[in-house]
Chain A
Amino acid sequence: MNYIGLGSKHKSRGVAANFIVKIVINNQELSVEAGSTVLEAARAHGIDIPHLCYHPALTPYGACRVCLVEVEKNGRKQITTSCTYPVGEGLVVRTNTEEVRAARKFTIGLLLSRAPEAETIKKLADEYGVEPGLERGEDADGCIRCGLCIRVCRELMGHEAIGFINRGAERIPETPFLEDNPDCVACGACAYLCPTGYIKVIDDTTRKISSWHKEEGLAECRECGRRFAPARLLHKVKENLRDLEISDILDLCPECRREKEIKTLNVVEDR
């Protein structure tokens, strides 16, 4: 098949809309959207495949090696990542064979040795009966190098304030020169997607993200005075939404905004 599939972000490329192909997952014949990946097709049909570095809004990366499945095409079988593998007519997928589970068990063990305290990984480890593959001691920094933080920053926030530095075992997401990077507006999207809690956002009078050497001032709510959002982020959002003339609600904290919205609704209903 000549169509191209690299996940949701790329569906438009070279694929006719609503083009459907038939694949088999775990002996079940399914009609799935061409251009989707095996993981997306499985999710659409309620078939669970564990994953850590995948997010529907981001380019698939294939790095955590947890979503491994067996795919069979033209009689050839291989173990591969379902988040990157494109569906195609006649593809046969097995998500839960002994071999697949053994492969996942191995990779989960490696991830556990990097993030032994992370709840998500511990849960997976329990499910697969895994011990940490490597006792890293203090070197276990809690980051599994899934790259979600970097991808969300670059692809959705449009900043690219962080990147992987070094290579091999020394690879780690960081800011340039390991210092506060002005490109980072402390939006916290990275921490929100981080599967292990390696990235922590601490809001007080300022917002602190220690992984990025960041401390950013928080803006006060116009109504209640509570500090609620990084000032530079707010400024940027206002700039971007200038044409919508909603800047007055952007100065409000989420609670005050909700109250204001309810009041507006009431006015409408009263009419």
Chain B
Amino acid sequence: MINLVGKLQDIQEEFGYLKRDKLDEISRELKIPLARIYSLATFYSSFSLTPPAKHSITVCTGTACYIKGAGEIVERIIEKLGITPGETTDDNKFKLETVNCLGACALAPLVTIDGNYYGNMTPEKIIEALETYL
């Protein structure tokens, strides 16, 4: 049985996004209609169809983070970088995303930048953290 979702995850991992020619290739080789592949690519939030930015910022907006002010953190990043969740800065340096829960609620509110965890964030601390990537 072909694990199509897994195949796409492999591509996402290798290239940082789902490259169109790779999707065409899978469609041809496995004889799976491109419509089905595109449907999966746009349904699951861990897939991206555009190349990754240099730095990826993920703000956890799980319940615990929400209660402890994740909303303000997001607002502050939007203000600083001029992008809303899902967007990338014009210079392709930062991509901002929100995630439903990273499961590290004791550190709420929590932000990850390039996979590094920044816990107990405040609107001030997140700007300090961002500065180190500018």
**Residues in A lying within 8 Å of B, measured CB to CB:** 159-167, 174-177, 181, 183
A161 touches B38 (CB 8 A): no
Interchain pairs with CB closer than 8 A, number: 36
Q: Kindly report which residue of chain A lies nearest to residue B40, judged by CB atoms.
A: A163
B33 interface residue per 8 A CB criterion: yes
A161 touches B35 (CB 8 A): yes
A176 touches B37 (CB 8 A): yes
- Using A166-B43, A167-B43 as known contacts, say yes or no to A183 and B38 having CB atoms under 8 A apart: no
Scan B3-35; emit 1 where CB is below 8 A from any A CB, else 0: 000000000000000001001000000000111
B39 interface residue per 8 A CB criterion: yes
**What is the bound-complex CA distance between A186 and B64, given in angstroms?**
51
Q: Kindly report which residue of chain A lies nearest to residue B44, judged by CB atoms.
A: A167
Provide the residues of chain A in CB contact with B39, threshold 8 Å: 163-165
B36 interface residue per 8 A CB criterion: yes
B42 interface residue per 8 A CB criterion: yes
A165 touches B42 (CB 8 A): yes
**What is the bound-complex CA distance between A66 and B102, given in angstroms?**
38
A160 touches B33 (CB 8 A): yes
Provide the residues of chain A in CB contact with B38, threshold 8 Å: 163, 165, 174, 176-177
Scan B90-129; emit 1 where CB is below 8 A from any A CB, else 0: 0000000000000000000000000000000000000000
A156 to chain B, nearest CB (A): 15
Q: Kindly report which residue of chain A lies nearest to residue B37, judged by CB atoms.
A: A176
Task: List 8 additional contacts besides A163-B33, A166-B43; criterion CB under 8 Å.
Answer: A163-B36, A165-B39, A167-B42, A174-B38, A176-B37, A176-B38, A183-B34, A183-B35
A175 touches B35 (CB 8 A): yes
**Residues in B lying within 8 Å of A, measured CB to CB:** 20, 23, 33-39, 42-43
- From A161, A165, A174, name the one whose CB has the most chain B CB atoms within 10 angstroms: A165
Majority secondary structure, A binding face: loop
B20 touches A160 (CB 8 A): no
Provide the residues of chain B in CB contact with A166, threshold 8 Å: 42-43
Provide the residues of chain B in CB contact with A183, threshold 8 Å: 33-35
B43 touches A181 (CB 8 A): no
A161 touches B33 (CB 8 A): yes
User: Lowest 6 A-B CB distances belong to which pairs?
Assistant: A176-B38, A163-B39, A160-B33, A163-B35, A176-B34, A165-B42
Which of these, A164, A167, A181, contacts B34 with CB under 8 Å? A181
Q: Kindly report which residue of chain B lies nearest to residue A162, judged by CB atoms.
A: B35
Q: Can you list 18 pairs linking A and B with CB atoms under 8 Å apart?
A: A160-B33, A161-B33, A161-B35, A162-B35, A163-B35, A163-B38, A164-B39, A164-B43, A165-B38, A166-B43, A167-B42, A174-B38, A175-B35, A176-B35, A177-B20, A177-B38, A181-B35, A183-B35
Provide the residues of chain A in CB contact with B35, threshold 8 Å: 160-163, 175-176, 181, 183
Q: Kindly report which residue of chain B lies nearest to residue A171, judged by CB atoms.
A: B43
Provide the residues of chain A in CB contact with B36, threshold 8 Å: 160, 163
Provide the residues of chain B in CB contact with A181, threshold 8 Å: 34-35
A232 to chain B, nearest CB (A): 16
B28 to chain A, nearest CB (A): 12
A200 to chain B, nearest CB (A): 20
- From B33, B35, B39, name the one whose CB has the most chain A CB atoms within 10 angstroms: B35
B36 to chain A, nearest CB (A): 6
Provide the residues of chain A in CB contact with B42, threshold 8 Å: 165-167
**What is the bound-complex CA distance between A145 and B26, given in angstroms?**
27
